[in-house]
Amino acid sequence: MTKIAATVRGSKDVVQKVLLDKNEIFADVLNGFIFNGKQIIKPDMLADTNTTSYYKANGEVHGQDRDVAKLLTIGKKKIVISLVGIENQTRPDKHMPARVMNYDAAAYRYQLTKSKKLYPVLTLVVYYGKEAWNYSRNLLGNINLQKL
């Protein structure tokens, strides 16, 4: 099964995933978000990586899929300096910070199984919805802290 065919099944944001899977588009999005449009990241600096991770909870194995993920590399030897994921959202999700944390933690867990050296993991959420995002954009805003 092709990567696109696997993406199409059960997916609401197929067009965004297919577009962002192209290194030219992915690089443009990163340059826009991170470097205010300055062309720092080039398409040839990006490499495909696995978007699926698994975890065990309540005695069952569950899978989770990032929308798109790329390894950011430098030099002729393509040394990995970061994993960058992009999550597409078409409606607000109050649990998005926790979801992103799970994707990032899975990426770090995978790195630890392959090597003792870690590289940074960065996740961007691109929101395409019409209604305002009125939920927290960070994990702390999702945590219910009450005075004891």
Give the integer Cα–Cα distance in Å for 39 and 127: 22
Q: Angle at Cα 131 formed by Cα 125 and Cα 133, nearest 5°?
A: 45
All residues at 6 or more sequence positions from 141 whose CB lies less than 8 Å from its CB, including other chains:
97, 135
Q: Which amino acid is at 26?
A: F
10 has pLDDT over 80: no
Cβ neighbours around 80 below 10 Å, total: 16
Q: Of 147, 140, 60, 49, which Cα lies nearest the Cα of 103? A: 49
User: Would you place residue 5 in the very low, low, confident or very high pLDDT band (cuts 50, 70, 90)?
Assistant: very low
Encode pLDDT of 96-125 as tens digits. Answer: 999 999 999 999 999 999 887 899 999 999
Domain range annotation of the chain = 3-142
Encode pLDDT of 31-50 as tens digits. Answer: 999 999 999 999 999 999 98
Give the integer Cα–Cα distance in Å for 126 and 139: 17
Write down the pTM of the prediction. 0.81
